[in-house]
A and B are shown apart, each in its own frame.
Chain A
């Protein structure tokens, strides 16, 4: 060969050799394709309850008492009512920024239900229900919506950050919270949420990668509701599942039916156990759908979603499915559900009233919240605003 290698030879040996090279090439291409296909085929959607409320995966059915099952249903119904009322209140101008939650109850509440009080939640802006069930009083959730900082002041013992607005920023922070828990020797986890769009952010990968590298006790939840405002998940990535993104970070990943509260709960419970046992973080993708608009600030889903798609997902509804399951077990009735609905409505009314009674926010208070000790320039500005406010 050497200097002759550019001359084509037609002897049998060379002809075969060329053919061999081609075959090897073909095999390489197939090999790469197989690797990806192998990975993607591993990520089946994990389900416990089907759309009819029947158990399809008996051995993975989580151990929950009848009371716990009823509590899960209560929370989902309550949260659905809260969503309906919040939308109405927003339209009346009595709430501010609001991101509807209907459709995502199983994903939101199933994950939160698997947590302990000492676990730390880093929510995105749609994840207010998890905060409420973790201990944030309802009137404070309303104050968050209205843009009052008291909504972001977690009460003592409520381990959480206020909802994150920047997509993905909470993922790196969650890795840090989890690293801190590990350093403190705590038996708790950090759990954070983003959507399908969030998985395209650099911070998403940095977060799961840091947590993986330090084996930090974190749970990363991706609520794949199929649309990042209007952009469908198919345009977000070539990946067939979002759960498989865990593979690149070397951490566990699982895709679950996000309309099946038992599957979501079971996956989170398992991830939590692994995390506190020092086995590292988990990425959970929940397949879900938001029935409403992205937020109440003028988004019109008919511009990017069809009615067919909406009704296809409404058939999977987490509450309908779980109600069937509980009714079959004799654990739930219309009467019980109405009780929950009435209770929710009353509490929402009372919470709005309490939020209305909150003292108006002052710019001087915002100035005081900038630093532990105010620097001279802010002291001057504080005096200026205090004078304005006393007029």
Chain B
């Protein structure tokens, strides 16, 4: 097995699927000759040719729009939106069109499209690069939203997303791209969409997290262990559909929950998760379900970014509150 960073695992997944299915097309701004601004598509145009891996004009709505058109011709498009903050340019093409194709056509057509896109804070980008906008897509029926937290998951989840016959937005946290390596199998493997991963077992409190907040939650859990608190950490992996079953099972065991997201409190998935828990497991709760999230401002200017972004200390603080409730 090879040691890979998350971005290498993503490239590997794209290569695997380009080889596996001739209908897979990879395209977007700078993805061809340049191999993508983060090198996620490095070498793919050279290997698979310009017909299957190609640069597009600089227009996000056009990119998402041609993906829908290509899907009607039996292709399996994997477009890249260079930074997820640019998705606003394509909101109709995604939520208004792609998400509805199966529904609109009474199940006679479908959009097997995977939009890949970098997002996430802590890397000092200009405005509209780092925003956590998963909630905007997750609130649109018809879409799925996948957010890997590590290289192994990144490959398996991307292969599953590409093979899925419904549209998926696959979000890649920029801070995780090269932050660590781990063993990633060279062969093709899938990780079922909509299934969470219990990353760490515990008995005292459940931390529900996704993306870069999984790492922060794991770190918080390690610190909490020193104080004798056993935290269970759930990595959602797919935020739409949510793996409610896994969350509830954990809540029934620990009776205390903190939901952790990088998005603002009013955005993201946390409010939805809290609602599901109170509807299904209120009698198992020993304390209110608390959230760790960014404040409800527009994404922070970089000078304030480190304070604005939730971190493991914020998680510990909330855990102590639910433990001492």
Chain B's closest residue to A122 (CB) is B69
Kindly supply a per-residue 1/0 record for chain B positions 91-109, scoring 1 wherever the CB is within 8 Å of any chain A CB and 0 otherwise.
0110011000011111111
Binds B, one of A30-38, A61-69, A147-155, A309-317: A147-155
Binds B, one of A20-28, A47-55, A204-212, A263-271: A204-212
Q: Which residue from B62, B72, B242 sits with its C-beta under 8 Å from A180?
A: B72
A154-B108, A179-B69, A180-B73 given; A166·B102 CB < 8 A: no
CB neighbours of A213 from chain B (8 A): 56-57
Alpha-carbon gap, A179 to B96, bound state (A): 21
Alpha-carbon gap, A69 to B298, bound state (A): 62
A183:B103 contact, CB within 8 angstroms: no
A161:B62 contact, CB within 8 angstroms: no
A169:B73 contact, CB within 8 angstroms: no
Binds B, one of A81-89, A251-259, A371-379: A371-379
A169:B93 contact, CB within 8 angstroms: yes
B70 contacts chain A at the CB level, 8 A cutoff = yes
B74 contacts chain A at the CB level, 8 A cutoff = yes
A interface residues, how many (CB within 8 angstroms): 42
Alpha-carbon gap, A166 to B61, bound state (A): 13
Chain B's closest residue to A172 (CB) is B65
B296 contacts chain A at the CB level, 8 A cutoff = no
B92:A166 contact, CB within 8 angstroms: yes
B interface residues, how many (CB within 8 angstroms): 43
A206-B62, A368-B107 given; A176·B51 CB < 8 A: no
CB neighbours of A171 from chain B (8 A): 65
A180-B74, A376-B241 given; A173·B68 CB < 8 A: yes
**Which A residues from 158 to 190 make CB contacts under 8 A with B?**
161-162, 166, 169, 171-181, 183-184, 190
CB neighbours of B141 from chain A (8 A): 370
CB neighbours of B191 from chain A (8 A): none
B residues within 8 Å of A by Cβ? 25, 51, 56-57, 59, 61-62, 64-75, 92-93, 96-97, 102-110, 141-142, 164-166, 194, 241-245
A residues within 8 Å of B by Cβ? 120, 122, 149-150, 152-154, 161-162, 166, 169, 171-181, 183-184, 190, 202-203, 206-207, 209-210, 213, 366, 368-372, 375-378
Q: Which 5 A-B pairs have the closest CB atoms?
A: A176-B69, A172-B65, A180-B73, A176-B66, A375-B241
Q: List 8 A-B contacts (CB under 8 A).
A: A162-B104, A173-B97, A175-B69, A177-B72, A180-B69, A184-B74, A366-B103, A368-B107
Additional A-B contact list (4), CB under 8 Å, known A162-B104, A175-B66, A369-B106:
A169-B92, A183-B75, A203-B62, A209-B62
